[in-house]
Structure 1
Amino acid sequence: MAVKHQILIVGGGTAGITVATSLRRRSKAPLDIAIVEPSEAHYYQPAFTLVGAGAYTLAQTRRNEASLMPSGVRWIHAAAAEFLPDENAVRLSNGDIVHYEFLIVCTGIQLDFDKIAGLPETLGKNGVCSNYSPDYAEYTWRCIQDLKAGARAVFTQPPLPFKCPGAPQKIVYLAADHLRRRGLLQSCDLEFFVHGPGIFGVPFFARELMKVVERYGIKTHFQHNLVAVDGPNHTATFEIVGGDRQGERLTVPFDMLHVSPPQSPPAAVRTSSLANAAGFVDVDQNSLQHVRYSNVFSLGDVCSAPNSKTAAAVRKQAPVVVRNLLRMMAGGAVEAGYDGYASCPLTTAYGKVIMAEFVFGGKVTPTLPLHPARERGINWWIKTTGLPLMYWHYMLKGREWFFRHNTDFDAGTP
């Protein structure tokens, strides 16, 4: 069966719902919009770290997709199986073909647990957990609670790009703080294995985070990539990806292993003519319009813009896509509007957060008139209460006004 819609949005997650509601709010004329989304549940993923640390329940992160779907928007319960931009069409997983005048691709990216040998078979048991999936975040908290004196807890960070680049280390700090409160920190070994050469991609914040690492006595191993897990024997194998020992493999025992998996665009995107060489939807980083197909836009984790993949980035990208799409429909030209803004609330302890905000090039751009390198209690409230309220009741409702981030901030020395 073939149908056609004026605007087809592929992906009903953060980006898809936000764009659809905003379009409905801002268009003076009725719009024919459809959203392609197979999932019945919608999760506030930035809170998965809090679930894994026992500071939030999984139920608090979940809403029914139907409750978020904008009025007047058609919900197509399927996934995209093939993009056919030369035909202005998308083939769905149920075999149907949907044609469009304008396409917005915001499928998100997938978790590639199967790229790590032995991981799928042991995930969710044997002390192997991951906050990146709602299926396993609660088990992370059980693993942390089960740590005893003399335990070894291992945490991993995969190759970029992946969503929420701060998430792999947030749970390290919360686990350390939990052990500190129980009087067990000094007797336990916490080790953080990072694929990259540093703790965080923005040096301004990396300097402060290394102080947190030192405070807890966390052992860091840079340029190490997780390649295999033996759950029953409680061992993890890493490949060294840089330096004099590049190519060597190291097997370490663990009592708890928190895995942040490698991630990639869905196959339907990766194999299409919409994708760049890395498999992401190839867009202009400022206008978010496709570089070859002018009636296609993309935002969120699946687009090629070189920003940090966070919900905060979507909050700034969505208005740009909406304005440019409405301009095109009115016969106007698109404009650059996205500066690469992303925000990463880095939970350094229960009750403390460093609010990392930055744009393209790692330029620090705080929103609040507070020094951004400091751990603050107010940032914990923003992370645990303010941002979720904003997400559910403001952002997903298509409301776009927010405080401006300070692009004139002088980072200097923390």
Structure 2
Amino acid sequence: MPSMPSASSPARDHYQVLIIGGGTAGITAAARFRRAGLTDVAVVEPARTHWYQPLWTLVGGGRAPLGITRRPEASVMPRNVRWIREAATAVGPETQTVTTTDRTIGYDFLVMAPGLQLDWDKIPGLDAAVGHGAVSSNYSFEHAPYTWELIRGLRSGTAVFTQPTGPVKCGGAPQKIAYLAADYWRRQGVLHRIRVVLVLPSDSLFGVPVWRRALEQVADRYGIEVRLNSEMTAVDGTARRLTVADHSAGAEERIAFDLLHAVPPQSAPDWVKRSPLADPASPYGYVEADKYTLQHPRHRNVFALGDVANLPTSKTGAAVRKQAPVVVANLLAEIKGEHRERRRYDGYTSCPLVTARDRMLLAEFDYDQRPAPSIPLVDTTKERRDMWLLKRYGLPALYWHGMLKGLA
């Protein structure tokens, strides 16, 4: 097959495989396509910086520096994959084209991996409040270091940690920072002077019983007030007050706070929501995909993976690691016209649940909420220091040197 043009040559207007998004999902898929022998692959991605976002929780908890979570996008782009440094703005599956800020690009096969967007403006007052005063969020590289400043500076008062309704990146992250903060305050001898409130939209701390029970013990240990079936509906950063809606009781409560860690609502990028690829069943505009084959049911030459795919599992990097081989295998089968049974994704995802500055649970499960452990002879339902070391050092190494190179 002919070789791919070098990164310095002009972008063409048609590719065999066009990938939208140069984050975890897009780069992992691109690397695997190259290793499978495809030479006509392009990635549409405007960002010049690539972030390893799972460590932002540890940045906010004072356990990792922000600098180690970023690398130049050029350094992670697979060799001989065309990088189109533009933003996608529309997709036409009937014409097999993607529109960017500068051009229209044709494709034979499309892989949707643009990630999701943070909808700060969906909670009144949050966009104006975050990053100032007593409000922060680990869901932005700009604000994660500020979370640690607030935690380190609090010696008494009320600290509130919230999670919005709907799918979010790493569903455990909103509560992990609460545990890291409480552990720090306990070690500083001030936890007894701080009221810690955790506001969650779900009816339990975790969907899988074995880890739910473990997290309930963690919350009890720190004396955290857990508000289930609840969400923050408004915040006044200047007055340091927020409104919490209790959906079980049908009531609202105003809470004064001295620290607020807020997670913004999240959804597919607006242009994806407007596209024919969006799942009509998703109120958040995520891309429709068969949950096993990751193929679009109405457009057979389109696949989706990562956060933008409307799949009934948690949106994590670990899920991408299992999804990428499925997308690559099934797309290659389409190219070859093979009629064999397609490779299947079982919904595997993993959530490293940091419970203290040096302890972690590792929750691994599938579509049926069944535990799916990947580390032999290690009980990851218990808080362990070796699991924390895996989170802090092992998983980043696996990410940069394994996943993004198509090796893991």
Q: TM-score range by the shorter chain?
A: over 0.9
Q: Are 2:353 and 1:346 equivalent residues in the alignment?
A: yes
Q: Could you tell me which residue of structure 2 aligns to residue 274 of structure 1?
A: 277
Deviation per residue, 1:272-315 (Å, 9 max, x gap): 11111211111111111111111000000100121110000000
Instruction: Quote the offset at 1:124 in angstroms.
Output: 0.5
| Displacement after TM superposition at 1:78 (Å) | 1.3
CA displacement, residues 95-149 of structure 1 (integer Å, 9 cap, x when unaligned)? x11110000000111111110111111110111000011010000000001101x
Report what 1:254 is aligned to: 257
TM-score of the superposed pair, with normalisation by structure 1: 0.93
Match of 2:310 in 1: 304
Q: Which of 156, 163, 167 in structure 1 is aligned with 2:169?
A: 163
Letter in 1 for 2:254: T
> 1:332 pairs with 322, 338, 346, which one?
338
How far apart in 2 are the matches of 1:267 and 1:390?
32
| Offset at residue 157 of structure 1 (A) | 1.1
Amino acid at match of 1:206: R
Q: How many residues in Structure 1 have an aligned counterpart in Structure 2?
A: 393
Whole-Å Cα distance in 2 between the matches of residues 218 and 238 of structure 1? 16
> How do 1:69-148 and structure 2 match up within 5 A?
69-94=77-102, 96-148=103-155
Give the counterpart letter for 1:55 in structure 2.
Answer: R
Q: Name the aligned partner's letter for residue 296 of structure 1.
A: V
Answer whether contact 2:204 2:212 (CA < 8 A) is retained. yes
C-alpha distance in structure 1 between counterparts of 2:168 and 2:128, whole Å: 22
Q: What percent of counterpart residues are identical? A: 47
Give the TM-score, by structure 2 length: 0.94
**SS at structure 2 position matched to 1:83:** strand
Matched, 1:190 2:193: no
Question: Would you say the 8 A contact 2:329–2:343 is kept in 1?
Answer: no
The answer for the alignment partner of 2:5 in structure 1 is: none
Cα displacement (A) at 1:392: 0.2
Task: Map 1:2-401 to 2 at 5 A.
Answer: 3-27=13-37, 30-94=38-102, 96-148=103-155, 150-241=156-247, 243=248, 245-246=249-250, 248-277=251-280, 278=282, 279-333=285-339, 335-368=342-375, 369-400=377-408
Whether the aligned pair in 2 keeps the contact of 1:310 and 1:344 (CA below 8 Å) is: yes
Contact 1:2/1:97 (<8 A) preserved: no
2 CA distance for matches of 1:257 and 1:312? 28
Following TM superposition, by how much is the alpha carbon of 1:374 offset from its aligned partner in structure 2, in angstroms?
A: 0.4
Deviations 1:301-339 (A, max 9, x none): 100121110000000000111111112212214613210
Letter paired with 2:147: T
Residues 176 and 216 of structure 1 are in contact (CA less than 8 Å); yes or no, is this contact kept in structure 2? yes
Structure 1 unmatched runs, 5+: 401-414
AA of the residue aligned to 2:101: S
> How far apart are 1:2 and its partner, in Å?
7.9
CA distance in 2, matches of 1:130, 1:34: 33
